């Protein structure tokens, strides 16, 4: 048998899956990716079939091993990163009983209101470190299933998130890590255990939740696998973590006060804290190891807004990109560069499916303010980028109000591939932006977790990541953005009641 010297890293994302193979030095040997779509059966719903995740991962793994001529026998361990929350109701056999309910789903507003009434906002915050919001915390979706699909609830053996579903496919074990558990609404974020108090008040069957293990812990060994997946039995599988926690680790962000930002489908701006310093305007979760937390400003549909614009208004550019064998986003960038700071007096509110931090408004929607006949597609593209940056700044102001001083922000995700977007973020946030040579930080984070046997190893390996910086951008044009940022904030305040009136009937 060949030496098992490689790490297989899996990332179940919101808009696609990625697979990476790393060597023992945590260098990326090979990677592959494939997109899939989100289903919206109703206007405010967002679902995916977990079977699609599994079939996509299998195809990616097999294609990667075959194309790179890598023997499956060399895979020594498997780590997982996942979009979160991504709720799956799993039966006794490990099959999904219904499509997964994603973090941006807004069907469970009534259940969120019920939780707040039965448990109380103060007690929820004291136990979970968070407020309750539909979709953002999977408890609301669990209760929606209980209320609206009682047969599904009855037959559910375990409620898990995406990494738990993949772990079960690989090992037949059931588990959840603290970074994912933190976004259920049923997790005591200080005691690192499921909350019996919340479950009792809501008449929720706590036995339907899996065991909690830390992100670097081995959950089991691969069992007899699907014949289509050409991996041997007996490979250790690490539970891994939510994608934002994995991305933080992949950027070496594991020390108190360090900050990172990632833009993919959604955006997260977060700072590491070694104290449970929580604020209800943020999302607060456990990091990948003991006694570390991530204080997160999480926005819902940032990169998704740009993708929506691309899919609906850049059809020619998408065709041209295929001919030129480049990303269509590179062409969008070139168009956006033609627009000046402020996008020719155009403001975009990036709330396409409601918003999480710091607004917590499920009724909010995307808006272009100031649109005229003189505007071009590049103006709108730049306005989307700037609108995302303004939203990040509103979250940064909350984080720094807690006494945490942020000097620089490490960035990753698809948004970090755009120099223009990084430049905009630096100037709007008034912070140094640092990007790294590796672009798939979540894959690297999952690989680091898979490679470690203790929490001390995590810190040692993560600290070496910072040496691999690629680009540093200092803010240079912050003042012009201050003017537009104030308009951005005022626009939401003035439209808030309109959003609710517009969406009230749709949300029922």
Q: Which two tokens stand for residue 269?
A: 């701006």
Tell me how far apart the terminal alpha carbons of the chain are, to the nearest angstrom: 59
Domain ranges of the chain: 6-239, 299-403+475-507
The third-level CATH classification (topology) of the domain covering 299-403+475-507 is Nucleotidyltransferase; domain 5 (3.30.420)
Contact yes or no for 370/349 (Cβ under 8 A): no
For 277, residues 6+ apart whose C-beta sits below 8 A from its C-beta are 293, 295, 402, 404
Contact yes or no for 280/356 (Cβ under 8 A): no
pLDDT of residue 1: 38
Contact yes or no for 35/14 (Cβ under 8 A): no
Q: Which two tokens stand for residue 95?
A: 């099959």
* Of 300, 295, 239, residue with least CA distance to 103: 300
Mean pLDDT by 10 residues, the chain (508 residues): 84 96 95 95 95 97 96 97 97 98 95 97 97 96 98 98 98 98 98 98 98 97 86 96 95 93 93 94 97 96 96 92 94 97 98 95 96 98 98 97 93 93 98 90 96 92 84 93 98 97 66
- Whether the upstream peptide bond of residue 48 has omega within 30° of 0, thus cis, is no
Is the CATH number of domain 6-239 3.40.50.720? no
Q: Which two tokens stand for residue 356?
A: 């999480």
Burial class of residue 500, CB neighbours in 10 A (0-12, 13-18, 19+) = middle
What is the per-residue DSSP string for 127-143? HHSS---TTTSHHHHHH
Q: Which two tokens stand for residue 222?
A: 């691969």
For 400, residues 6+ apart whose C-beta sits below 8 A from its C-beta are 406
Give the Cα separation of 437 and 31 in Å (integer). Answer: 15
Count the neighbouring beta carbons within 10 Å of the beta carbon of residue 66. Answer: 10
Q: What is the pTM of this model?
A: 0.90
For 442, residues 6+ apart whose C-beta sits below 8 A from its C-beta are 11, 13, 18, 81, 243, 246, 247, 250, 262, 412
Give the Cα separation of 130 and 135 in Å (integer). Answer: 13
């Amino acid at each position: 048998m060949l030496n098992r010297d490689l790490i297989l890293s899996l990332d179940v994302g919101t808009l696609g899956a990625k697979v990476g193979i790393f060597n023992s030095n945590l260098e990326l040997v090979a990677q592959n990716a494939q997109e899939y779509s989100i289903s919206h059966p109703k206007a405010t719903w967002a679902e995916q079939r977990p079977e699609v995740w599994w079939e996509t991962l299998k195809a990616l793994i097999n294609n990667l091993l075959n194309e790179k001529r890598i023997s499956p026998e060399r895979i020594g361990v498997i780590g997982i990163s996942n979009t979160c929350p991504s709720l799956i109701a799993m039966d006794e056999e490990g099959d999904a009983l219904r499509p997964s309910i994603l973090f941006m789903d807004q069907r469970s507003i009534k259940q969120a209101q019920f939780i707040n009434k039965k448990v109380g906002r103060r007690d929820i915050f004291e136990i979970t470190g968070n407020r309750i919001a539909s979709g953002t915390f999977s408890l609301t979706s669990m209760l929606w299933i209980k209320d609206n699909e009682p047969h599904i609830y009855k037959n559910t053996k375990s409620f898990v998130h995406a990494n738990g579903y993949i772990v079960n496919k690989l090992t037949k074990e059931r588990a959840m890590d603290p970074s994912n558990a933190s976004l259920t609404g049923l997790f005591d974020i200080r005691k690192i255990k499921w909350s019996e108090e919340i479950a009792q008040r809501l008449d929720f069957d706590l036995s339907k939740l899996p065991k909690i293990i830390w992100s670097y812990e081995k959950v089991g060994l691969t069992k007899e696998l699907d014949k289509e997946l050409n991996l041997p039995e007996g490979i250790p599988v690490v539970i891994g973590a939510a994608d934002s926690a994995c991305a933080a680790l992949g950027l070496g962000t594991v020390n108190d006060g360090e900050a990172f930002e990632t833009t993919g489908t959604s955006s997260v701006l977060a700072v590491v804290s070694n104290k449970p310093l929580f604020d209800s305007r943020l999302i607060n979760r456990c990091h990948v190891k003991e006694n570390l937390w991530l204080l997160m400003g999480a926005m819902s549909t940032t990169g998704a807004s740009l993708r929506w614009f691309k899919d609906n208004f850049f059809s020619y550019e998408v065709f041209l990109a295929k001919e030129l064998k480049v990303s269509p986003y590179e062409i969008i960038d070139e168009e956006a560069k033609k627009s000046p700071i402020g996008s020719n007096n155009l403001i975009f509110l990036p709330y396409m499916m409601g918003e999480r931090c710091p607004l917590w408004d499920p009724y909010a929607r995307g808006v272009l303010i100031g649109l005229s006949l003189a505007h071009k597609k590049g103006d709108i593209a730049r306005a989307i980028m700037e609108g995302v940056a303004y939203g990040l700044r509103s979250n940064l102001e909350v984080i720094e109000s807690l006494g945490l001083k942020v000097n620089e922000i490490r960035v990753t995700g698809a948004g970090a591939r755009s120099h223009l977007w990084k430049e905009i973020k630096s100037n709007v946030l008034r912070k140094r932006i640092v990007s790294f040579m590796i672009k798939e930080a979540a894959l690297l984070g999952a690989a680091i977790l898979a490679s470690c046997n203790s929490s001390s190893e995590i810190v040692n390996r993560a600290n070496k990541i910072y040496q691999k910086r690629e680009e540093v951008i200092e803010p240079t044009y912050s003042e012009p953005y201050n003017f537009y940022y104030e308009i951005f904030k005022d626009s939401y305040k003035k439209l808030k009641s309109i959003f609710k009136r517009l969406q009230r009937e749709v949300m029922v």
